[in-house]
Amino acid sequence: MQIKVKYFAMLREQTGKKEEQINTDARNPLELYAELSKKYQLKADLKHLMVAINEKYATFDSSICDRDTVVFIPPVAGG
């Protein structure tokens, strides 16, 4: 299936990308992050990340479907 991944903050710097379409067999964000982490040598520890699917917070074991947008959210720091 094909999903869109958007990158922000340190993840944008580490991947060198704002977003990309990925063909993946990952069933959830946990598996997807493992795949991306290997591809880009991501340094962010999973326990410091949150995840959003289609603009809503989700859990790392939530199912992902074809054409979903997944965003791994580094520590937020608004204000």
**Which residues are near other proteins by CB under 8 A?**
6, 8-10, 12, 48, 50, 52, 55-57, 71, 73-79
Pick between residue 1 and residue 75 the one whose CB is nearest to other proteins. Answer: 75
Pick between residue 25 and residue 79 the one whose CB is nearest to other proteins. Answer: 79
Least Å distance, CB 37 to other proteins, is 17
Residue 55's alpha-carbon distances to 42, 51, 52, in angstroms, are: 22, 9, 6
Least Å distance, CB 41 to other proteins, is 17
Reported residue count of the chain is 79
Q: How many of the other CB atoms lie within 10 Å of CB of 37?
A: 16
Least Å distance, CB 25 to other proteins, is 25
- State the distance between the two ends of the chain, measured CA to CA, in whole angstroms: 37
